[in-house]
Structures are given as structure tokens and as C-alpha cells.
Amino acid sequence: MNLTKLLQSQGFGTRRECRDLILSGRVEIAGEAMADADADINPEGLRFSVGGQDWQYREKACVMLHKPAGHECSQRPRHHPSVLSLLPIQLRNRGLQTVGRLDEDTTGLLLLTDDGQFLHRYTSPKKNIAKVYRATVRHPLTEEQLNALRSGVVLHDDPEPVAAQSAIARDAHTLELTLTGGKYHQVKRMVAAAGNRVEALHRERMGEFVLPAELKPGEWCYVEPDNAA
């Protein structure tokens, strides 16, 4: 692949900007500064550096973000910063999209990608991708509430009961809820319909992806979609 085109595909700017990076000696491969902006480079497994920062070539990018509260899952946020503002400009330039959404006050696992096939696979209702949430609730959980969530509760915009795949009380005020749907404010509305109230909400798992304990709020890491459902 043409080196300029390679850099452009990785989000380093326009064609002109990428050529300037190369011609200014800021791009290195195997420790050697590249002087030819039109050099033919094999991208497979390629590691390179730009301005002293190391990168790996990725035909498609998929990242996991530990979403903090106070961020919107939108490219055009209205009231709070976008989750995209937490990522490097190179990833933002690639046009990453959120794989589903989390409310602005919900924290936890959020996937973003420019891989259309992965995006479809993880957002299609037909795939039944399980999502595990930890909800802190206002009132002590009761077995009646848990049973209602498991058997199905009726939301005002859907005459058919909506059931959780599982509902487990971790303690009196902590609910573990597993869903396969993706309705608007679904966890909060289901818990309200069961007779309680969500005070805080955190997503721990999505399909085969689990939020690592060491990934702090606002931090991100690459993930490999081929290793997941």
C-alpha cells in the first residue's frame, strides 16, 4: 500500500497532511525514518511510529471504552461532551461509531468501531447479543420484583411484556440484569415497572466482551472482533 494512503487510512489526516508528516521525517518503520511518501508498504502486521508515538496498522478499528458519566453517545452531542472526545484524533478521523448507546449518566462498557459488519452483528435484534448491567436501586430488592423482571414487565410503548434474560440480587440494593434487547432507557423503565428505581447504572459485559477491572473511566483499549460472538 502507498505509504501516504496507509497513513490516511489510519486517521492521520488528509493526503496532503500525511505526505507532510512523511516528508518532515516524522514517520518511522522499524526505527528508520521514511523519506518516500509514495513508498509501497505491506500493511499486514505493520507497526510504525508517527512523531515518536507507536501505532499498529488496523484495516478496521474496534475499541472498548470505559464510558464515564456525563458523556453522550453521539457525534453531535447536545448537552454533554461526546464519548468520541475521549479517543485520539486518529480514531475520531476514522469515523468510529458507537455499537449501541448508553445514556449520558450510564457508565461502563462501550464499543466503538468503523467495521460495518461487526456493527451490524452486535446491534441487530436478531443476534440477541446479551448485555449485563449492574444497577444500584433506591429500594431493597424483593423476590417479587426479580420475578417480575424475569417473567416480563409491560412498558408504556410496548403492549408485549419485556423480560430480562436473568435478574439477580447481588445485595439488597444491587441488581445484576441481563438483557438481549435495546429499547430506550430499557433498564430504568423495566426496574420502574417492577416497582423500584434505578439510582446508578453500569454496563459490565456485551456479548463476549467484558470490561477489564484495570480499565479506568475514560480509558480505552483495542479489542479484536474476530474473537467475539
Active site residues: 103
Tell me the CA distances in angstroms from 225 to 5, 30, 119, 210, one per residue in order: 24, 27, 10, 13
Expressed in percent and rounded to 5, the helix, strand and coil fractions of the chain are 25, 30, 45
Bridge-based pairing of strands 107-113 and 198-206 is parallel
> Is the CB of residue 143 less than 8 Å from the CB of residue 214?
no
Contacts for 118 with CB less than 8 Å, ≥ 6 apart: 60, 62, 99, 225
> Is the CB of residue 162 less than 8 Å from the CB of residue 190?
yes
Closest CA to 58 of 19, 12, 110: 12
Q: Is 185 strand, coil or helix?
A: coil
Tell me the CA distances in angstroms from 62 to 12, 73, 225, one per residue in order: 17, 16, 7
- Tell me the one-letter amino acid at 75: Q
Element (H, E) at 89: helix 89-93
> Is the CB of residue 21 less than 8 Å from the CB of residue 37?
no
Give the whole-angstrom CA distance, residue 4 versus residue 15: 6
